[in-house]
Amino acid sequence: MPGSRITALGHHQPDRVLTNDDLAAVVDTSDEWIRRRTGIATRRIAGPDESVTDLAAAAAGKALAAAGLDPSDIGLVTVATCSAVDRCPSIAAQVAARLGIPSAVAFDLNNGCAGFCTALACADHALRAGAARHALVIGAEKMSDVTDWTDRSTCVLLGDGAGAAVLSAAEDAGIGPVAWGSDPTRGNAVRLVDEWQPRFAQEGQAVFRWVTGELPDIARRACELAGLTPADLAGVVTHQANLRIIEALVRQLDLSPDAVVAQDVVESGNTSAASVPLALSKLVQRRELPSGAPVLLLAFGGGLSWAGQVVSCP
Ligand code: ACO
């Protein structure tokens, strides 16, 4: 097959909403500080019995139903996550079991916040090579499990959730070539510290400078690989790290004034590998992005890593 396309999306978030005022009751912060520095107003937090597998399976089940496929049609399941505590069986294998997918290759992929776009490229390549006809690509995180709730500089940023895409092999390619890579010399800028009690840590200002200094060129490169310029895009869905970083990044892209820029971080916080499919699924569900419209997905984070591609909206 010459390519693959996203044919359906789904997302799932826990019911519990954690507001900035809720956080101000436990650490020395304020709604005003959090909104001004990050743009975040709320985030969703999973309950103690709600796992990454639960979040992933809920989002994937919705995407599968929306695609109108039978579980036996799915030949590849991959879950991008960096917060899952389960290592074996993989989250992808557990999702396949939950959804009754009988014989797909199922594996997890950890590339930090860049995980979903990396997994999307891997699945696209597999479908192009004929290794499967349909794939489920999921980003799912329970960041609340790896949050230091006493550290006001990070606990205000993170949230839980999952998003999923069904990819199908297609004559008419709907996923552009990926622009991806890493700068491992700056790996410590975003990390999970303490392997027995992992907690998220970052050099916030270094990450800010990296994203706003280097990611615009990567965004332009992903567009170029798809034969487009940023001005041709109907929308941009970046990793939802924080609103200031998103605004500073897209400001450099000369987008069309009509382009839709995902801002799900305001209501969902930073959900790491889940943030891109979560934000994309919501925009499509609200019909803010028309079917067939070119949208740049651009994810970045721990590694330091990045992956981005232009996709055609389902
Ligand atoms: N409430 C009130 N004050 C706070 C809070 C808080 N929640 N957090 C930090 N502060 C204080 C600090 O203690 C410090 O006070 P001091 O000057 O008296 O020491 C002051 O605010 C500045 O602290 P910084 O950590 O330097 O805060 P900064 O201005 O860098 O803002 C932020 C933090 C918003 C995270 C910023 O670094 C940023 O936008 N970084 C981009 C990276 C990012 O968003 N990462 C997300 C995860 S990584 C990823 O997804 C790729």
| Per-residue model confidence as pLDDT tens digits over 222-248 | 999 999 999 999 999 999 999 999 999
Q: 88 falls in which pLDDT band (50, 70, 90)?
A: very high
**H helix intervals, 129-178:** 152-155
**Would the CA dihedral through 216, 256, 37, 55 be positive or negative?**
negative
Mean pLDDT value across residues 154-180: 97
In the predicted structure, residue 307 carries a pLDDT above the cut 90 = yes
Q: Evaluate if residue 46 carries a pLDDT over 70.
A: yes
Whether the Cβ atoms of residue 189 and residue 203 lie closer than 8 Å to each other: yes
For each of the domains in the chain, give its residue range(s) and CATH number, in order of start.
3-170 (3.40.47.10), 179-312 (3.40.47.10)
Residue 287 has pLDDT above 80, yes or no: yes
Residue 195 pLDDT: 79
Task: Give the residue among 132, 256, 115, 109 at the shortest CA–CA distance from 190.
Answer: 115
Instruction: Decide if pLDDT at 1 tops 70.
Output: no
DSSP states along 198-264: -EEEE-HHHHHHHHHHHHHHHHHHHHHHTT--GGG-SEEEE--S-HHHHHHHHGGG---TT-EE--T
Q: How confident is the model over 166-176, as a mean pLDDT?
A: 95
DSSP 8-state symbol, 111: B
**Which residue type occupies 199?**
R
Q: Tell me the one-letter amino acid at 260.
A: V
From CA 26, how far away is CA 34, in angstroms rounded?
Answer: 14
Confidence of residue 187 (pLDDT cuts 50, 70, 90): confident
Q: What atom in ligand 1 is closest to the CA of residue 304?
A: 51
The model's pTM = 0.96
Q: Mean pLDDT across the stretch 3-8?
A: 97
Confidence at residue 161, expressed as pLDDT on a 0 to 100 scale: 98
Helices (H) and strands (E) in the chain, counts: 10, 14
What would the mean pLDDT of 272-280 be, rounded to a whole number?
Answer: 98
Name which of 123, 89, 70, 85 is nearest 277 in CA terms.
123
Angle CA 89–63–19, to nearest 5: 85
DSSP state of 30: -
Q: Is the pLDDT of residue 107 over 70?
A: yes
Report phi then psi at 270, rounded to 5: -90, 110
The pLDDT value given to residue 20: 98
What is the CA(271)–ligand 1 centre distance, in A?
17
Residues marked active site are found at: 113, 239, 270
Distance 153 CA to ligand 1 centre (A): 5
Out of 22, 37, 147, mutate this one to test ligand 1's pocket (max ligand atoms within 8 Å of CB): namely: 37
Q: Whose CA is nearest to atom 23 of ligand 1?
A: 153
Count, residues in the chain = 314
- Three-state DSSP state, 179: strand
State which of 205, 211, 214, 263 you would mutate to test the pocket of ligand 1, scoring each by most atoms of that ligand within 8 A of its C-beta: 205
- Which ranges of 100-203 would DSSP assign to H, the alpha helix? 115-128, 152-155
Q: Which residue has the tokens 């949230």?
A: 159
Would the pLDDT of 66 be above 70? yes
